[in-house]
Structure 1
Amino acid sequence: MAFRLRYAAISDVGRVRKDNQDSGYAGPWLLAVCDGVGGAARGDLASATAIGQLRKLDAKPSSTASDDMRSAVAGALHRANDRIAELVDDDPALSGTSTTATLALFDGTKLTFGHVGDSRAYLFRDDEIRQVTKDHTFVQSLIDEGRITDEEARTHPHRNLILKAIDGVHDIDADMFDIDMHQGDRLLLCSDGASGVLDDGRLADILSMGTPDYAAVELVRASLEAGTNDNVTCIVADVVDESEVGPEQQQPMTVGSAADLKRRLHVPKTNLFRGHRAGDTGELEPVKAEIPDNLTGNIPPFAIETDPVDPEEARYAPRPPRRFLLARRLLAAVALVGLVWMAGAAAYSWSQQQYFVGEQDGSVTIFRGLNADVPGIDLSHAYQTTNVSLDRLSDYDASTVRAGIDADSLADAQRAVKRLAANQSLDEDTTATPTESASPSDTVSPTATATPTDTASATP
């Protein structure tokens, strides 16, 4: 038995973004969703360019052999990749742009899928939903390794990081597979703006109701109501007997950034969302931008929308090359060295204002610097030496000198030396005379002299 597809497609910019980087296409023989990545690198252009190439598949396949259909799908993906590469070659400012792609080619009995990225395809059959594509994302790799659960993946900080995309640089490594269709099957192709906030249970609930038009609208409304901060694109298609589909129901539909004109439904747009089970999608008017002269003729005739600062830049595509990167790094290195030198100079200047009394070669010595030991680094040097010998000091005074006597100033250190000279043993005259070893210009005033007349003598 030959089947036909009865389909509906809708794309909404969402409540947060100013531009729609999603693109979608639905036709009698082809369903496709692309989600542009790149932010300022024009993800909208990438998704629209990819749809422009993929939509050429929308014709009844001349051969229904699985290998032939997979070859056709793979060829379309490669043409999309080559076309994006041409755009980047023409305008290097587009470097970093890329897009996901999920498409299904129909031959009347089966669907041949091609899939790259994190847009998704679901099959709703016999009141049960099944995700038929597998995300090419970082969190999916964590799920496959058993490190996180599906529920944890929804809130993972890197849940939007994708590992594969059509970027015009890397070879396409798409998942390819076939699914035989049954009458009554319902298909959903959507961007991560919907699948990222609606779980399988909620998707199944919506897909179980109404026509494809109704289900597509309800999916978008529910995604926005669930708090998605991304664009939302949904394509819903029913597999029906070919006698149930008239020619007027087989008109191709292009939505999102690839649309030449906004979709015209059988009901006014205001009725599509307002009053529809609570909801206005809150669609924002796109911000128009002028088309650069060097892109004229390369951009399809759809509304250009830009957002110069967008988190999508970090989602997959590498950032555009930064100008003068080497010069900036050299300047940063010079600035860092300068800061380190200034800090070192300030520390050295402060250390040269510190004094302490210590021991050198058995004599009491005034040191300039810090009373600390650091392997390989001299933090102090002998500033003034005296003739006060540690051998003539009490054990307590000698140990104190060896440990170092901190002083608030040079004068304070000299007073400490005088106290030590006065306390030394007086078997013979001893004079404590500080002598400069580092700064000859510095002089030390009164010397401390210890003579026998200063103390009472003992007669044997």
Structure 2
Amino acid sequence: MLALYSAEQSHIGARRRNEDACGQVRVGDSVCLCVSDGAGGHGGGDVAARIVVETVLGMFEASPGVSSAVAARLIEAAHGAVLVAKQDHVDDMHATCALLLIDLERREAVWAHAGDSRVYFFRAGEVVFQTRDHSLVQTMIDAGYGGLELTRTHPQRSLLTSAIGNLEGIEVSVSGEALPLQVGDSFLVCSDGWWEHVHETQMVTTLAEAVSMPDWLERMARVVSADPAPRHDNYTAIAVRLQDAGAQPPLA
């Protein structure tokens, strides 16, 4: 059995409202963690993000499971819920979603996402995996028109090719077979307002320096707030560390 230690932060940045949402729920040995970044006029973004997180966590709590099929169904259910809400609220509202599912007894994890909110997986002091954005810039990178630095610098970096609430449909990326977990593995689930300002090398450095998951998030949040960008987006993240259930003292 693994023990899970987590923390979350969500900041308004320099925007008028916080259109990010996040949350987590545990049912027995199964855990679901979710981050959503909403967009849309007249308050539609924060409504969309809240609907995504509430739908994902509520559906998982009612019927927990850790598999790629479950992860995809959770995002698809959130997409359906936002489409319904659009009929009575704001037509142009949509949202991203990044979610992580962990089975502590089986020591396995899967994840899924739509949009440019990301899941990062860390092992042995390195970024082993990060999700691939559903964005115009990522499409350009895949076609050979630049490197990954464009995801942080290109003026059209926020244009998405898949998002929850799109009437044309949604593309959901899932991790595939469940990942076997080890003691010391860590995850970061975050919105683009977070990863745009905290480079992967800084994520690794601050993780090595941190004494807890709240401390790791606080160190990264200071990097975001210190960035001289003229208009900080909302920035939200959930940090996770897996440890031996009998380890003392735990990394809280």
TM-score category, normalised to shorter length: 0.7 to 0.9
Of residues 23, 36, 41, the one that matches 2:38 is 36
Q: Deviations over 1:174-220 (max 9, x none)?
A: 01113221110111111111111221111111122220011112212
Report if the CA contact (8 A) 1:33-1:233 is conserved. yes
User: Shift in Å at residue 154 of structure 1?
Assistant: 2.1
Count of equivalent residues: 239
Change (3 A) 1:183 1:97: same
Counterparts of 1:239 and 1:162, CA distance in 2: 32
Q: Which amino acid letter does the alignment assign opposite residue 235 of structure 1?
A: I
Match of 1:53 in 2: 55
Secondary structure in structure 1 of the residue aligned to 2:149: helix
- Is 1:102 the equivalent of 2:98? yes
Cα RMSD between the aligned structures?
Answer: 2.2
Counterparts of 1:72 and 1:243, CA distance in 2: 29
Match of 1:157 in 2: 155
Taking the TM superposition and a 5 Å limit, the aligned residue runs for 1:59-98 are: 59=61, 69-91=67-89, 94-98=90-94
Q: Which amino acid letter does the alignment assign opposite residue 188 of structure 2?
A: L
User: Shift in Å at residue 89 of structure 1?
Assistant: 1.4
Report if the CA contact (8 A) 1:128-1:204 is conserved. yes
Match of 1:183 in 2: 183
Secondary structure in structure 1 of the residue aligned to 2:146: coil
Counterparts of 2:195 and 2:70, CA distance in 1: 27
- Is 1:111 the equivalent of 2:109? yes
Structure possessing the higher radius of gyration over alpha carbons:
1
Q: Which amino acid letter does the alignment assign opposite residue 115 of structure 1?
A: H
Match of 1:6 in 2: 5
Counterparts of 2:219 and 2:237, CA distance in 1: 10
Change (3 A) 1:159 1:168: closer
Counterparts of 1:184 and 1:57, CA distance in 2: 29
User: Shift in Å at residue 132 of structure 1?
Assistant: 2.4
Secondary structure in structure 1 of the residue aligned to 2:153: coil
Q: Deviations over 1:346-373 (max 9, x none)?
A: xxxxxxxxxxxxxxxxxxxxxxxxxxxx
Match of 2:235 in 1: 232
Change (3 A) 1:231 1:63: closer
Secondary structure in structure 2 of the residue aligned to 1:150: coil
Secondary structure in structure 2 of the residue aligned to 1:46: helix
Report if the CA contact (8 A) 1:197-1:227 is conserved. no
Report if the CA contact (8 A) 1:102-1:113 is conserved. yes
Match of 1:265 in 2: none
Counterparts of 2:172 and 2:150, CA distance in 1: 26
User: Shift in Å at residue 221 of structure 1?
Assistant: 1.9
Counterparts of 2:123 and 2:180, CA distance in 1: 12
Match of 1:312 in 2: none
Counterparts of 1:47 and 1:62, CA distance in 2: 21
Match of 1:128 in 2: 126
Percent pairwise identity: 27
User: Shift in Å at residue 58 of structure 1?
Assistant: 4.7
User: Shift in Å at residue 21 of structure 1?
Assistant: 0.4
Report if the CA contact (8 A) 2:150-2:157 is conserved. no
Taking the TM superposition and a 5 Å limit, the aligned residue runs for 1:345-364 are: none
Q: Which amino acid letter does the alignment assign opposite residue 101 of structure 2?
A: L
User: Shift in Å at residue 57 of structure 1?
Assistant: 4.8
Report if the CA contact (8 A) 1:121-1:188 is conserved. yes
Q: Which amino acid letter does the alignment assign opposite residue 205 of structure 1?
A: T
Larger relative strand fraction: 2
Counterparts of 2:102 and 2:63, CA distance in 1: 8
Larger RCO of the pair (alpha carbons < 8 Å, separation 6+): 2
Q: Which amino acid letter does the alignment assign opposite residue 222 of structure 1?
A: V
Q: Which amino acid letter does the alignment assign opposite residue 201 of structure 2?
A: G
Change (3 A) 1:183 1:226: same
